[in-house]
């Protein structure tokens, strides 16, 4: 009675929050006390279970197993399953859970259908494909091959480990497939980047999908740009009342953002009862993708006012928006916020800062920021080289290109667009030719139409019109309006009337299939410059027939940290009276200076 009383008192003590004792040393002392003063722990099952849990929580799974080992004759492995769950919950103890399972097998403690899912999930955390296969064999030997619970766990483990062949073979052989089975394989495909396979599997699904299935499929639709499928899933979620939660809302928002559907994304965002940093990030990305940089910056300020702390993804996105607008003050405020919060720079943040400074014309700050970066990737180098090229610093751009190569970073297609553009704007003919040829000879990169555009522009500016035309004719892809436009400008500069007429005839053959009004406007302007007014009329009729409207021209100026956008013909700016007065004063000054 005295022994039982001691054990009961200790159990009551351990069950009081916070659990004490909390250190391994104290647990050892308590275990010893129970053996010396209280007899075998096996006389009190609840106490043994609690003590084993504490050992497991303290990161000592082998000791936890030893406490429970005397109970191996119990008809159910419930105690050991509970221990496995406790161990597997620890982020660093997945392999320990597998080790305890192996001890169970060695000590002839039979696992049941609840044991295998716990251990399989642990295996998936460290991608233990060998252990997964051994467990699969054990399930077959013990007759669990038809148990949906066990099969779904195997399916999940194989998928996470990237063994999609094994996962699909198991899935196809299952006699009963429930929604968890379908969702498990679809999720596995998504994690492995097999988005098309995931979508095809969804189309074959013969059970009603649940919320997890639909949320997973929304990410697939976003990646593949499958707007129609995504919209159908959205409708299904609304009909079934599944679109109201934060997770579902974020998935819908992300899908519409990746499909660049701003209005739909705004409706989802506006209807969300709860928003987290993911919600704000998705909406900001959508605005940036729709070239609504000013709205993205305003949304960022709204996010700050709502009390949601921005993460590095948001900060990178808003810096990109500042770069698009040339909003230097806003960009500097973001930089100050990053420094004030002590956020560690990663390659994304650093690259966004370099890009922002470069596009705002602050090349010294862009270079200084680049050298401050603790980590640099290819995008970081591209941002700096592209910024230098944009501002006509061709030699500096080439120096950084050479430095990048010396540091062992291989240039990509974006890098070559930047350096070739630098050569074109700075008239570096020899270097431009060498770099263009090196794409295929040394870096095994296939030039795209952007690279041809740069080299043709370079040759045209150098007066080598015949060579430029020869390059155009040798292109492996069909030249677009930008290519012909660059060549036509070179012809006009060299007064090559005959070739100009040939190029204009080529332009007549181009009927843009793109819905972008900019291509039509460019063609129309080229024809107008060359007095081809009938062709200008043809372009405008074509735009009307296709329902394409010219986007009005605009300019953006930043005043006191706020970006102001002005559209052509706009008369509704809240400060229009002050603006007109200032323009009148400036015009007077210009007139006086010209006298």
What is the band of 69 on the pLDDT scale with cuts at 50, 70, 90? low
What is the band of 78 on the pLDDT scale with cuts at 50, 70, 90? confident
Contacts of 398 (CB under 8 A, 6+ apart): 419, 422, 423, 428, 431
Between residues 431 and 69, which one has the greater pLDDT?
A: 431
What's the CA gap between 316 and 302, in Å, rounded?
17
What is the band of 1 on the pLDDT scale with cuts at 50, 70, 90? very low
- What's the pLDDT score for residue 80? 79
558 beta partners: 563
- What's the pLDDT score for residue 548? 59
Between residues 564 and 289, which one has the greater pLDDT?
A: 289
- What's the pLDDT score for residue 2? 46
CA angle 125, 129, 134 (to 5 degrees): 115
In order of 489, 523, 525, the CA distances from 533 in angstroms are 18, 12, 10
**Could you give the percent of the chain with pLDDT greater than 90?**
45
- What's the pLDDT score for residue 48? 65
Between residues 110 and 416, which one has the greater pLDDT?
A: 416
- Whether the predicted pLDDT of 144 surpasses 70: yes
What is the band of 219 on the pLDDT scale with cuts at 50, 70, 90? very high
- What's the pLDDT score for residue 84? 81
Q: pLDDT tens across 263-288, in order? A: 999 999 999 989 999 999 999 888 88
Neighbours of 442 (CB within 10 A): 12
- Whether the predicted pLDDT of 20 surpasses 50: no
What is the band of 245 on the pLDDT scale with cuts at 50, 70, 90? confident
Q: pLDDT tens across 421-430, in order? A: 999 989 999 9
- What's the pLDDT score for residue 498? 73
- What's the pLDDT score for residue 585? 76
Between residues 430 and 593, which one has the greater pLDDT?
A: 430
What's the CA gap between 431 and 389, in Å, rounded?
14
- What's the pLDDT score for residue 3? 46
Q: What is the mean pLDDT of residues 528-548?
A: 73
Instruction: For residue 78, give the nearest of 90, 92, 68, 93 by alpha carbon.
Output: 68
| Pick from 99-113, 142-156, 379-393, 513-527: least confident | 513-527
- Whether the predicted pLDDT of 305 surpasses 80: yes
pTM beyond 0.85? no
**Could you give the percent of the chain with pLDDT greater than 70?**
75
* Coil, strand or helix at 535: helix
- What's the pLDDT score for residue 491? 76
What is the band of 565 on the pLDDT scale with cuts at 50, 70, 90? low
Q: The tokens 């930089």 sit on which residue? A: 335
What is the band of 435 on the pLDDT scale with cuts at 50, 70, 90? very high
Mean pLDDT of the chain: 82
Q: pLDDT tens across 79-133, in order? A: 778 878 877 777 777 888 888 888 888 878 888 899 999 899 988 888 889 999 9
Torsion angle defined by CA atoms of residues 329, 334, 339 and 341, in that order, rounded to the nearest 10 degrees? 140
Q: pLDDT tens across 350-363, in order? A: 999 999 999 999 99
In order of 419, 422, 423, 461, 524, the CA distances from 427 in angstroms are 12, 8, 6, 7, 28
- What's the pLDDT score for residue 555? 61
| 8 Å CB contact between 179 and 209 | yes
Q: What is the mean pLDDT of residues 451-473?
A: 91
- What's the pLDDT score for residue 591? 65
Element (H, E) at 562: strand 562-567
- What's the pLDDT score for residue 438? 95
- Whether the predicted pLDDT of 501 surpasses 50: yes
Chain-centre distance of CA 1, in angstroms?
A: 64
Q: How far apart are the first and last CA of the chain?
A: 114
């Amino acid at each position: 009675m005295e022994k039982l009383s001691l054990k009961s008192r200790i159990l009551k003590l351990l069950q009081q929050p916070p659990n004490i004792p909390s250190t391994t040393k104290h647990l050892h002392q308590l275990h010893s006390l129970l053996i010396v003063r209280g007899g075998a722990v096996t006389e009190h099952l609840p106490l043994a279970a609690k003590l084993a849990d504490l050992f497991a929580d303290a990161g000592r799974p082998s000791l936890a197993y030893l406490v429970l080992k005397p109970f191996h004759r119990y008809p159910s492995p419930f105690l050991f399953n509970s221990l496995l769950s406790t161990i597997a919950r620890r982020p660093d103890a997945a392999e320990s859970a597998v080790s305890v399972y192996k001890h169970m097998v060695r000590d002839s403690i039979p696992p049941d259908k609840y044991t295998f899912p716990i251990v399989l999930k642990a295996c998936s955390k460290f991608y233990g494909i060998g252990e997964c296969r051994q467990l699969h064999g054990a399930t077959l030997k013990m007759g669990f091959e038809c148990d949906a619970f066990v099969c779904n766990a195997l399916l999940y483990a194989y998928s996470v480990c990237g063994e999609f062949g094994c996962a699909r073979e198991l899935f196809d052989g299952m006699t009963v497939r429930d929604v968890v089975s379908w969702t498990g394989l679809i999720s596995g495909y998504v994690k492995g980047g097999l988005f098309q396979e995931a979508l095809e599997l969804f189309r074959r699904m013969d059970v009603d999908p649940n919320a997890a299935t639909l949320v997973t499929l929304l990410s697939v639709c976003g990646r593949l740009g499958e707007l129609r499928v995504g919209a159908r899933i959205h409708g299904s979620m609304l009909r079934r009342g599944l679109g109201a939660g934060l997770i579902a809302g974020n998935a819908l928002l992300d899908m519409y953002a990746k499909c660049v559907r701003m209005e739909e994304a705004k409706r989802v965002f506006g209807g969300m009862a709860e928003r987290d940093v993911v919600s704000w990030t998705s909406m900001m990305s959508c605005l940036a993708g729709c070239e609504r940089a000013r709205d993205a910056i305003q949304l960022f300020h709204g996010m700050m006012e709502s009390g949601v702390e921005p993460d590095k993804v948001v900060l990178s996105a808003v810096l990109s928006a500042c770069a698009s607008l040339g909003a230097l003050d806003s960009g500097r405020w973001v930089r100050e916020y990053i420094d004030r919060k002590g956020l560690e720079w990663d390659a994304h943040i650093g690259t966004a800062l370099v890009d922002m400074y470069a596009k705002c014309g602050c090349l010294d700050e862009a270079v200084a920021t680049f050298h401050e970066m603790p980590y640099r990737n290819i995008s970081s180098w591209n941002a700096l080289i592209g910024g230098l090229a944009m501002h006509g610093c061709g030699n500096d751009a080439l120096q950084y290109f050479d430095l990048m190569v010396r540091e062992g970073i291989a240039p990509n297609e974006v890098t070559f667009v930047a350096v070739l553009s630098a050569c074109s704007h700075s008239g570096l003919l020899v270097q431009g030719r060498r770099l263009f040829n090196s794409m295929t000879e040394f870096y095994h990169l296939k030039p795209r139409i952007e690279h041809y555009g740069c080299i043709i522009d370079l040759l045209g500016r150098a007066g080598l019109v015949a060579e430029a035309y020869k390059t155009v004719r040798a292109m492996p892809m069909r030249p677009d309006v930008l290519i012909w436009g660059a060549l036509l400008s070179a012809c006009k500069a060299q007064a090559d009337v005959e070739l100009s007429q040939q190029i204009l005839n080529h332009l007549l053959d181009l009927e843009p299939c793109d819905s972008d009004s900019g291509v039509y406007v460019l063609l129309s302007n080229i024809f107008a410059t060359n007095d081809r007014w009938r062709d200008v009329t043809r372009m405008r009729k074509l735009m009307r027939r296709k329902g394409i409207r010219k986007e009005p021209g605009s300019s953006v100026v930043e005043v006191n940290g706020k970006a102001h956008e002005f559209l052509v013909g706009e008369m509704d700016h809240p400060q229009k009276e002050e603006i007109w007065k200032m323009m009148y004063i400036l015009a007077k000054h210009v007139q006086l200076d010209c006298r």
